Each structure stands twice: as structure tokens, then as C-alpha cells.
Amino acid sequence: MKPTRYLPIILLLIALLTTTAHASPITPNDFEGTDSERINQAVALGAKTGQPIVIPRMNNNNGNPRPLWLLDTAILVHSNTLLELENCHLKLSDISRDNFIRSANCGMGITDIKPMTNIHIIGKGRVVLEGADHPRSTGDSAKTLGQRTYGTDTGKEGVSQTGDWRNIGILMAYVENFRIDNIHMEDFHSWAISLERCSKGVMRDLDFAATEHLTIDGKAATFLNQDGIDLRQGCHDITIDTVTGHTGDDLVALTNILNDAKVAGSPDYIMVSKPNNRGQGLDDIRHITIRNVRGHTEGGHHIVRLLNASGLKIHDVIIDGLIDTFGTGKRAKAAIKIGDSNPAWGGVTPLGDTYNIIINNIISRAQHIILIGGSLSESLISNVQKYDAPGDSITYQSGKDYVRNVRVVNVDSLVHSE
């Protein structure tokens, strides 16, 4: 019998062994350094080899196992990253002024952001991302530290005295084909998740816990701009499915605001990419599905907000299934707010800038269920139930002249009788 007869079998076995080794996960417990350094080494290797990166519950750094990973700097995710968070607790350290997770193509001083693709951040079991005990900075770029929002960097020379994009929990820009799944986030320093010019993605099973206020060292501290999920310029073809919990500010927001004076990667704005309008509809927020929202805003803001201005459009959006879980405290100003008359945001948008919006199956005790502060056209509002609050279910704040071809079906108000 010739040995060459066994050659195909040998080659097959080698291929199977290679494939198995190639698919085995990488863990930061295999590396040395700080928790951030070890995680980033694992992520960089996994993106290069195609292996999944697993952050396990136990952090075995220096032979002292503990169920906590302390982040001094952001976890930087690259194209072709599968990051699995396995029953783990990630917390920002007091020396961190950075995101929990950021796409590696953007950051301080990066003015030319190269697109990335195929980034998946998947939680397994109970996954917690928690803000610092003593955050250096909170709030967005319109908030001064120590005056309107908390930050231990208050009054320090050489560091920004306002909030910025580094206060965002998970931040990605120009990423196509992504997934963020099954994560609980609490006491984040500004928006929990913000996406800029991202597309073809899914965010699912996300839970938030933030109130705009904390007690730090026995004193009351204010954390402003604690939104849950924000989609910014150019986001499209995205599904947001099953959002729960409570936030200090808006729970879900689609925010399309122009600011040509800012550049990408600057430390003085809440967007890491340039907040401009590239034209030809590239920066419209479009083709978005938001379903199964069960939560509330602790700060009396909005549960879902759609805001566009200065020629940037929002269109082809479905909001299906919203239950307001408000109990005590400040009731929401609106379950869903569309547009804004405030000149700071560009004022009321022209008819046709916010269109093809379908709103369905809403239950809320907010002051206004649907608050139209800008314009709305070619849209549908149906199956809306207001209870335990006076007033109509739909408020035309900007006037009905800014509403065109909007069909309203089965919209009811049930005023609670004392």
C-alpha cells in the first residue's frame, strides 16, 4: 500500500486542526499590562487573525483574580472584530477621560476617518459597563465642568473645561455592518451609545440605568446629557430592538445637527467626526427601525426624540411599540418629540425635511405623547394611548401649518379622575 494514499486524509486533518486553532478565542488574560492594555492587545490580535476576543468574568491580572476590569483608556475595536463580553463587569477608572469602547478609526486629532466594517460587540449573560466613581468630565460640549455638570478636571490647567465625545460610553464612526447586543450600562458620563455615519447594523437588548444625579463623597453631583442611544449624521439601515431601563436624558434620539465650525477629532465637541453636511442625502438619518422600547427618562426629557435642522433630514423611520415605565419623579415632557422650534437647534424645519415617519403602538403618561415641535409630512400616527395625564395625545407645538399629509388613526386620551 502506497503512503500517498493517506496524503488526502493527512491534509484534511491538518486543515481541521488549523481551523479549530484559528477559531479558538483570545482572552486578555493571556497578555500583560494594565487592564486596558491587555484588552487592546487581545482585540488587535483578534481583528488580525479573525479569532473572537472574549473578556471573561474573572480578571486574572498578576495572579489576583477579581470580577472587575478597570479601564484607563478606551477599548479600540477594529474591522473584523468579534468582541464577546462574557458575564463581565467593565468600569471606567478615575484617571480615565475616555470612552468604554470606540472604533479605532477615530479619536483625538484624527481628522480623516477611514471607514471600518464588521464590528460585533456581543454580551453574554449579565454584562455591565459602569462609569467611574469620580469622573473627570461629564456632559456634552455645551456644558462647563463645575458649573452645570460634574467633573474632577474642573479648574485644572491644560485640560478641556467642557464635556466632549470622550464622555460617550460606546462611540463608533463610519462603521458598516455592526452589532451591539445584550449590554447593561449605568452611570455613564454622557450619552451611553452614539453612532456617527454608521450603517447596516443592529442594536438589541440594551438596558440603561442613569438619573442625571449621583451622590459622590456625600455630595450631590449632576451628570448632564445622559441619553441612552443616539444616532447622528448619516446613520442609515439600522434596527434598534428592545431598549429598557431609564436614562437621565432622552432614551433614544436621532439627532441631525449641523456645525461646520468643528473639525473631526477635536476635544471641544460631542461628535468625533465633522458635524457637516456632505450633501446628496449622505448625511440624512434614514431607514431606521425602533421597536419594543420599555423605559423612561428620569430627567423629565423625552423617551424618543427626532431632531434635525439646517437642511439635514430624517426620513423613513418606524417607531413601533413604546411603553412609558414612568413611576415617580419627573414625568417625560414627551414620549416622542419631533423637531424643535428652538433657534439653537436651527428652528422649525421646512416641510419635507422630516417625512415618512410611522409611529405605532404607544402607551405613556407623558405631558405630551406625540409633541411636534418642528415639521412632519407624509407620515402615520396610530394606536396611541395617553393616561393619567391631562391634554391631547398629539400636540402641534409649531402649528398645524407645519404638518402635511399625516394620517392619525386610533389616537386616544384617557384622563385619570381623582
Task: Work out the mean pLDDT of the chain and round it to a whole number.
Answer: 93
CB atoms within 10 A of CB 306: 29
- Please report, rounded to a whole number, the percentage of residues in the chain having pLDDT higher than 90: 88
Determine the pLDDT at residue 241.
98
- Tell me how far CA of residue 182 lies from CA of 9, 86, 99, 121, 125, in angstroms: 42, 10, 18, 9, 8
Determine the pLDDT at residue 391.
87
Name the band, by pLDDT with cuts 50, 70 and 90, for residue 4. low
- Please report, rounded to a whole number, the percentage of residues in the chain having pLDDT higher than 70: 93
Q: Cell digits for 220?
A: 450631590
Q: Under CATH, what is the fold of the domain 3-299?
A: Pectate Lyase C-like (2.160.20)
Mean pLDDT for the stretch of residues 104-127 = 98
Q: Has residue 171 got a pLDDT over 80?
A: yes
Q: What tens digit of pLDDT does each residue of 383-418 get?
A: 999 999 888 999 999 999 999 999 999 997 544 333
For β-strands 89-92 and 175-186, DSSP reports them as unpaired
Mean pLDDT for the stretch of residues 74-102 = 98
Element (H, E) at 75: strand 75-77
Q: Has residue 240 got a pLDDT over 60?
A: yes
Beta strand residue intervals within 135-284, DSSP E: 170-173, 175-186, 193-196, 199-209, 213-216, 219-222, 229-231, 236-247, 252-256
Partner residues linked to 71 by β-bridges: 92
Q: Point out the least confidently predicted range of 31-40, 59-68, 214-223, 238-247.
A: 59-68
Q: Which of 324, 249, 234, 338 is nearest to 288 (CA)?
A: 234
Q: Which of 173, 163, 162, 296 is nearest to 228 (CA)?
A: 296
CB atoms within 10 A of CB 115: 14
> If you count them, how many residues does the chain have?
418
- CB-neighbour burial class of residue 64 (10 A; exposed 0-12, middle 13-18, buried 19+): exposed
Q: What tens digit of pLDDT does each residue of 196-229 get?
A: 999 999 999 999 999 999 999 999 999 999 999 9
- Higher-confidence position of 232 and 16: 232
Name the band, by pLDDT with cuts 50, 70 and 90, for residue 346. confident
Q: What tens digit of pLDDT does each residue of 45-74 get?
A: 999 999 999 999 999 987 889 999 999 999
Q: pTM score, two decimals?
A: 0.93
Structure letter (DSSP) for residue 165: G
- CB-neighbour burial class of residue 106 (10 A; exposed 0-12, middle 13-18, buried 19+): buried
∠ CA 291-296-300, nearest 5°, is 130
